[in-house]
Structure 1
Amino acid sequence: MSDDLFTPLTLRGTEIPNRVTVSPMCQYSCEAGDGLATEWHRVHLGSRAVGGAGLVLTEATAVEPRGRISPQDLGIWSDDHADALAPITEFIRDQGRVPGIQLAHAGRKGSKTRPADGSVPLQPDEGGWETLAPSDHYPYGGDEPPATRRMDSDDISDVVTAFELSAERALDAGFEVAEVHAAHGYLLHEFLSPVANDRDDEYGGSFENRTRLVREVTAAVRDVWPDDKPVFVRVSATDWLPDRDSWTVEDTVRLSGRLADAGADLIDVSAGGLHPDQQVPDGGPNYQVPYAERVRKATDAAVGAVGGITTGQQADALIRNDRADLAIVGREHLRDPYFALNAARELGMSDRIDPPVQYQRVF
């Protein structure tokens, strides 16, 4: 009998009770500059756990202050950040769900106002900061981007260490899954793509060199993450820049095996985000799932699929048809915090998921 949406998934020694995952989605809801989780984060993430999702991932959580997208981004660069996140992970676990954190560095796409304020580049005297990138020629929109430094070897070493230390803090905070964010045009993706990386050292040029940093970061996180808990890596399968020498699905398939060798247990397959000229396909149902399917066929690691997943029947079919191991649901979870509970009812599987005792009379 094939797996379905409500079959548990065990990765290493961690059991995810069902295949519904809350995708990382930035909330831009910290007090400006401090990166500390707030009541908004507790209610936002906690309500999705109440809603039945087997795995609840935080938004992109910056491993250092320069790794934020906006001053209101969530962070994990100090023990205070771990302390602020600990009550959230405790609540998620109390619901029988698994808390996960996405560790991130925005790189060249940082130092912006939040989207509600226009995503306008911020200069240092406006609360912004100098951003980091593999190369100094690469803008990402805005009339006057903040100053960017081409990273030297010390910067690269510091970033690897920042991911490692942040993983240790995340573990102290009670997270059970650590995801490395290497997608959507942020720092690690910038190193991967020849569109953003014109280096001629050991971190640029060849496929081996351009993938070196994400492999080092994945290995560093794996080194400090317990053997019985999984590490994920989110990748952009393609830059959606067909007319340029860019990152492609074939590159992603090739990288996925190397990431598995570095300690990744699941590849979270998204796409795009690197350059404003990207040609995004019409976002119909499952529009990014074929990328995940390609990766799944080529690697021993588990795979998560994203993109236009809006119904329980659709998510269930992804698992039943062996297209992915997790259905990673973003925007639909903003519309419906109880997506998993409602999917179980829609599919006639309410006996396969445990709603909170307070809600049992309706589910």
Structure 2
Amino acid sequence: MSLLSAPFQLKGLSLKNRIVMPPMCQYSVWNEDGIPNDWHFVHYVSRAVGGTGLIIIEMTDVEPDGRITNRDLGLWSDEHIPAFARIISEAKKHGAKIGIQIAHAGRKAEDAETPVAPSAVPFSQKFRTPRALTTSEVKELVRKFAAAARRAVEAGVDTIELHGAHGYLIHQFHSPSINRRDDEYGRDLALFGVEVIRAVKEVMPEDMPLIMRVSAVEYMDGGYGLDHVLELCRRYRDAGVDMFHVSSGGEAPPGSRKPEDKPGYQVAFARQIKHALNVPVIAVGRLEDPHLAESVLAAGDADLIAVGRAMLKDPYWALHAIEALDGKVEPPVQYRRGF
């Protein structure tokens, strides 16, 4: 048996293999109410049929103006719960475990009339200038993250991921180049993330792990490096994060710091966070070659492998990867003739 096909356990989360479908926005909520529809149902359930161990539902936002676009998912109302529960329940029938990424786009909210952010600094010249949140509004957003997490638990998720990467709101707060506040949330760049983590943990079952996605480095000129994110992750781990999903960039138009987009280009970041903080990590970024994914696990650089774009191309990537590594695979009984 390959490591990629081996089971994995983290607290109460038991996965049949080490393969993760990471959050990837579908921009497909046609009536703009934040409620998933049949597209999302087929999209996620088909990856469960395709053998994925952990599916993390795309960026799902805590308030309407927290969406990247008005066609994104939301969990700002109890009315959203049944549609998510339908997807989660069906996907679990095929052996997958389901997470969801809870988030707020902050200054990257493209359809918000007036986006909000830690400071009135736009993402780029093409984006609207955001309004700086008041201190009381920041505290209210912490409560909104917790409320969305509570709804996710009611919908039946097995884990929750907080989006602290790619230049969205939590990232905006912990970035020295974006957060120019002079209140407590400016003096302590990790504070907003820490408060969100603690509030979310209060509504999660004790044995349910909390994942956080982080950008290990920023790509903009003058952006933070790995030393900064290591200290952030130490704070976030101590506040209650059980696993980090390690990506990079996304905070602003990239400068000369952006690495070449080659297979495994982010693995070194995952490895350094894993070993410096003694926490499990998910590696992501051009890991669609099953042998490369296997080597990352064999080297101890990561605990789980996330495959994004390749899984958009092939809903059955997990089955095909395990077959390539092990020489055999157990597909759904309805598909055995194809294997």
TM over 0.5: yes
Matched residue type, 1:212: L
Is the aligned partner of 1:324 residue 2:302?
yes
Is the aligned partner of 1:357 residue 2:333?
yes
**1:196-228 CA deviation, whole Å, 9 max, x = no partner?**
1111221114xxx00111111111111111112
Matched residue type, 2:297: I
| CA shift for structure 1 position 281 | 1.5
Matched residue type, 2:113: W
Q: Mind listing any 5+ residue stretches in structure 2 that lack a counterpart?
A: none
Contact 2:163 2:214 in 1 (8 A): yes
Aligned equivalents of 2:199 and 2:331: distance in 1? Answer: 37
| CA shift for structure 1 position 247 | 2.1
Partner of 1:130: 114
| CA shift for structure 1 position 181 | 0.2
**1:274-295 CA deviation, whole Å, 9 max, x = no partner?**
1113442211110011100110
Q: CA RMSD in A?
A: 1.5
Q: Which consecutive aligned stretches of 4+ in structure 1 deviate over 4 angstroms post-superposition?
A: none
| CA shift for structure 1 position 141 | 2.6
Is the aligned partner of 1:190 residue 2:172?
yes
Aligned equivalents of 1:224 and 1:69: distance in 2? Answer: 25
Aligned equivalents of 2:278 and 2:326: distance in 1? Answer: 32
Is the aligned partner of 1:215 residue 2:223?
no
| CA shift for structure 1 position 111 | 2.7
Contact 1:56 1:99 in 2 (8 A): yes
| CA shift for structure 1 position 349 | 5.0
Aligned equivalents of 1:92 and 1:252: distance in 2? Answer: 34
| CA shift for structure 1 position 129 | 2.7
Matches within 5 A, 1:187-266: 187-205=169-187, 209-241=188-220, 243-244=221-222, 246-266=223-243
Partner of 1:66: 65
Partner of 2:123: 140
**1:100-126 CA deviation, whole Å, 9 max, x = no partner?**
1000100000034xxxxxxxxxxxxxx
**1:124-143 CA deviation, whole Å, 9 max, x = no partner?**
xxxx432110001x112344
* CA distance 1:172–1:180, shift in 2 (3 Å): same
Partner of 1:116: none
Partner of 1:84: 83
| CA shift for structure 1 position 3 | 7.6
Structure 1 residue corresponding to 2:251, chosen from 265, 274, 295 = 274
Matched residue type, 1:249: L
Overall identity of the aligned pairs, in %: 42
**1:182-202 CA deviation, whole Å, 9 max, x = no partner?**
100111101111111111221
Is the aligned partner of 1:156 residue 2:138?
yes
Contact 1:257 1:300 in 2 (8 A): no
Q: Mind listing any 5+ residue stretches in structure 1 that lack a counterpart?
A: 113-127
Is the aligned partner of 1:342 residue 2:311?
no
| CA shift for structure 1 position 316 | 1.3
Matched residue type, 1:103: I
Matched residue type, 2:9: T
DSSP-derived class of the 1:269 partner: strand
Contact 1:3 1:320 in 2 (8 A): no
Contact 2:15 2:53 in 1 (8 A): yes
Partner of 1:118: none
Contact 1:312 1:340 in 2 (8 A): no
Matched residue type, 2:88: T
Is the aligned partner of 1:310 residue 2:303?
no
Contact 1:260 1:300 in 2 (8 A): no
**1:68-92 CA deviation, whole Å, 9 max, x = no partner?**
0001001111111111111100111
Contact 2:310 2:317 in 1 (8 A): yes
Aligned equivalents of 2:147 and 2:298: distance in 1? Answer: 38
**1:327-361 CA deviation, whole Å, 9 max, x = no partner?**
0111111111111100111012535xx42221123
**1:269-312 CA deviation, whole Å, 9 max, x = no partner?**
00001111344221111001110011011113210111111111
DSSP-derived class of the 1:175 partner: coil
